[in-house]
Structure 1
Amino acid sequence: MKELREIAGMFRMDGEIKEIKPLGNGLINDTYKVITSGESPDYVLQRINNAIFKDVDLLQSNIEAVTAHIRRKLVEAGEKDIDRKVLTFVPAEGSGRTYVEQDGKFWRLSVFIDNADTFESVTPEYSEYAGEAFGDFEAKLADIDVELGETIPDFHNMELRLRQLVEAVSKDAAGRLHKEGRMELESILADIDANAEDMCLAEQLHRQGRLPKRICHCDTKVNNMMFDKDGSILCVIDLDTVMPSYVFSDFGDFLRTAANPVAEDSPETEKVDFDMEIFKAFSRGYIRGTKSFLTPLERQCLPYAACLFPFMQAVRFFTDYINGDTYYRTDYPEHNLVRTRNQMKLFHSALEKVPQMAEWISSLS
């Protein structure tokens, strides 16, 4: 832990370091709790994964702009206990930036929020909390006057994902389209092709000038909210993917995982089903959180968003399968194909329920 102490010491932190220990179970970044002595706050030290987030300066500039804007909103609203309702990143000694580089690794330090919890449970109750929290997050940033960049360019661009699939098919790098079982692969390709144009609605509307890009979280999971001990929501966390996107990103991506009763790589496709109770709860919270800015068209297209994200993820998994599993970690040769089947089943389940979803959205005030 000596190296970690040296890195933490490169930031303008208060108090002396008493202990540094691992924190959480994140899959992207290495995270540690820095415990200080006396009355000084504790901190969170995190290594930024620059293999995924290649422009660290852009990443941190986005986060600084977002947290500063939210803090101003909280002050204007007369909120109390503001330091527990928005993340605070600590500047580095000398540079004043909110990150440092050490031996090719990038690190940041934020103030630890005491007496707060995150939850993993995907229930209607927590789904509604999530909908309101992420909706309110977008609402607070609707008038931000700083231009943010895309930390992962074209992250949720459906047209790009389809072009990548076409390229993968043309190359067939792993020769999988010519092996036994190719009839199933051809069937999946035909299914994707049959729905491709409809699923590119977002890009079409944006080109027509009818669909704006908003500042979105783009990683809307239940465990990316922090709760106070009394059960109230404190703030949204894990801000690495905050960037310009369509509101469909936050709405659809949450439901892709939360509304599926099994994991995305479960081979038991007969158990895959789009859970309308989760949809109703999340959308109820989301509509409440976004009522200050959501346009009628954005609201009308929310059922489309619920279909878009399992479709997009199926295309990404299938592309990786054809490419020879070069992007997603796999545990066995057909892992990405199993994921594809799962997500296509979820897509069709959601598609069948679009009329129900539309009726529910229309009923919300």
Structure 2
Amino acid sequence: MQSSKNIAEVVSHFKCAADVGSQKAYGSGHINDTFFLRNASASGPNYLLQRINHSIFTNVEKLTDNMRKVTEHLKNKISAFGHGDPLKEVMTLIPTTNGRFFYKDSTGDYWRMFYFLSDTKSYDVVQTEKQAYEGGKAFGKFQAMLSDIPAGEMFEVIPDFHNIQKRLQHLDEAVANDASGRVASVAAELAIVKKYAASMQYFQQPEQVATLPKRVIHNDTKFNNVLLNSNDEAQCVIDLETVMDGYVAYDFGDAIRTIVNTTTEDEADLSKIQLNLPLFNAYVRGYLQEASKFLTDAEVKSLMKGALLLPYMQAVRFLTDHINGDKYFKIKFEGHNLQRARAQFQLVKMLDANADAMQQTILNEIDKYNTAPTNG
């Protein structure tokens, strides 16, 4: 927990009326530290204050500029629609006293602040088909509203973030260095990596590079990055720091990774990791209701490839961090990253066994729309 003195220094540089004494840790993110602060006035909006992990997000100014561009674009779109509330449906960055949207404190830490969206909730594990459907609508609408931003407009916050060839290269380097002496104990996991490595490089194949358009996407579509209202209806997509160019299948795949799993992403009992296919079907319905407006044929074909890739990639990342000594992701106990990796590998196996049927569900759903996806 940050000291009240440190928080007070930070808060004093934002245009807000936060009660410093009300701070409490908030959320379950792996990377940044987030704090909830009440407004000093009972009638005023509350706040979320985030300490940005500067070792991962090394160019905070460019990252913040991405977030500003995206939130302004989304707010303008919602306003143009003539319905909806931009302040409730889009995150709002709070400026600092010098007009910027981040603050570097006296210790070198970087901070940003948002208005807290009250009467909302998020789920680490999807519980109902309605929630899955609403999540699909939320991410589909998010992509659709950003689909007119040309590729190249966003700064690449983390280069090669979803490039599996780079992730496998990082794993090879970790194995070669064996900094924590853990390689000998993960032979089984490394064998799984090798088994799937070739098939997971679909998005690096020349044909796919030539036909799949790069778009502005979220890049971290865990289901808990959708805020739902009290009726379990999607209200706002959050956690926008990785918004940059990529393939829509990456977002689809990461959402499916966290929605269809019948348990948590770090489940220790692998027998509990099953697929909830009704949740998959519901997500696909919601997603394509919005995304069918802009998706190309090639993108529709790629969606299930993304659903296979993202849990595999996440497993590779967890395994790499475990071998490196847990330098990237926050852990709750020794071996946590290895447990996460094993769970994600098990999810890959389950998805692989059901991939053909799941792809057919996607094709059946896209066929329901009068406007067929454009060629691409």
Q: Classify the TM-score, shorter chain.
A: 0.7 to 0.9
- SS of the residue aligned with 1:117? coil
Instruction: Name the CA distance, whole Å, in 1 between partners of 2:228 and 2:322.
Output: 38
Q: Deviations over 1:306-339 (max 9, x none)?
A: 1112211222233334445444455666554443
1:234-245 paired onto structure 2 within 5 Å: 234-245=235-246
Instruction: Name the CA distance, whole Å, in 2 between partners of 1:191 and 1:216.
Output: 29
Instruction: Name the CA distance, whole Å, in 2 between partners of 1:327 and 1:154.
Output: 16
- SS of the residue aligned with 1:209? helix
Q: Deviations over 1:102-150 (max 9, x none)?
A: 1112222223334433344512221111111011111111112571112
User: Shift of residue 176 of structure 1?
Assistant: 4.5
Instruction: Name the CA distance, whole Å, in 2 between partners of 1:344 and 1:60.
Output: 33
Structure 1 counterpart of 2:10, one-letter code: I
Aligned length: 358
Is residue 87–residue 111 contact of structure 1 (8 Å, CA) maintained in 2?
yes
Find out whether 1:47 has 2:51 as its counterpart.
yes
Structure 2 counterpart of 1:24, one-letter code: Y
Inter-CA distance 113–331: structure 2 relative to 1 (3 Å threshold): closer
Instruction: Name the CA distance, whole Å, in 2 between partners of 1:266 and 1:18.
Output: 36
Q: What TM-score does the superposition give when structure 2 sets the normalisation length? A: 0.85
Decide which of 143, 157, 160 is 1:138's aligned counterpart: 143
Is residue 174–residue 324 contact of structure 1 (8 Å, CA) maintained in 2?
yes
User: Shift of residue 207 of structure 1?
Assistant: 6.5
User: Shift of residue 154 of structure 1?
Assistant: 1.7
1:320-359 paired onto structure 2 within 5 Å: 320-329=321-330, 335-359=336-360
Q: Which stretches of structure 1, 4 residues or more, deviate above 6 A after TM superposition? A: none
Deviates more, 1:16-25 or 1:201-210: 16-25
Residue 297 (structure 2) aligns with: 296
- SS of the residue aligned with 2:167? helix
Instruction: Name the CA distance, whole Å, in 2 between partners of 1:78 and 1:233.
Output: 18
Considering only CA atoms, is the larger Rg found in Structure 1 or Structure 2? 1
Find out whether 1:160 has 2:166 as its counterpart.
yes
Q: What TM-score does the superposition give when structure 1 sets the normalisation length? A: 0.87
1:256-335 paired onto structure 2 within 5 Å: 256-329=257-330, 335=336
Instruction: Name the CA distance, whole Å, in 2 between partners of 1:296 and 1:224.
Output: 27
Inter-CA distance 119–337: structure 2 relative to 1 (3 Å threshold): closer
Deviates more, 1:33-42 or 1:347-356: 33-42
Is residue 78–residue 85 contact of structure 2 (8 Å, CA) maintained in 1?
no
Deviates more, 1:201-210 or 1:48-57: 201-210
- SS of the residue aligned with 1:93? coil
Two-structure CA RMSD over aligned residues (Å) = 2.7
Fraction of identical pairs, as percent:
36
User: Which segments of 5 or more consecutive residues in structure 1 lack a partner in the other structure?
Assistant: none
Instruction: Name the CA distance, whole Å, in 1 between partners of 2:339 and 2:42.
Output: 52
Inter-CA distance 208–233: structure 2 relative to 1 (3 Å threshold): closer
Inter-CA distance 342–139: structure 2 relative to 1 (3 Å threshold): same
Instruction: Name the CA distance, whole Å, in 1 between partners of 2:292 and 2:264.
Output: 32
Q: Deviations over 1:157-181 (max 9, x none)?
A: 101111122223334444545x5x6
- SS of the residue aligned with 1:73? helix
Find out whether 1:10 has 2:32 as its counterpart.
no
Inter-CA distance 174–36: structure 2 relative to 1 (3 Å threshold): closer
- SS of the residue aligned with 1:223? helix
Find out whether 1:81 has 2:81 as its counterpart.
no
Is residue 225–residue 233 contact of structure 1 (8 Å, CA) maintained in 2?
yes
Q: Deviations over 1:235-259 (max 9, x none)?
A: 2112122222221221111222322
Is residue 261–residue 275 contact of structure 1 (8 Å, CA) maintained in 2?
yes
Structure 1 counterpart of 2:100, one-letter code: R
Is residue 158–residue 312 contact of structure 1 (8 Å, CA) maintained in 2?
yes
Find out whether 1:222 has 2:223 as its counterpart.
yes
Is residue 42–residue 111 contact of structure 1 (8 Å, CA) maintained in 2?
yes
Instruction: Name the CA distance, whole Å, in 2 between partners of 1:16 and 1:259.
Output: 39
Structure 2 counterpart of 1:265, one-letter code: D
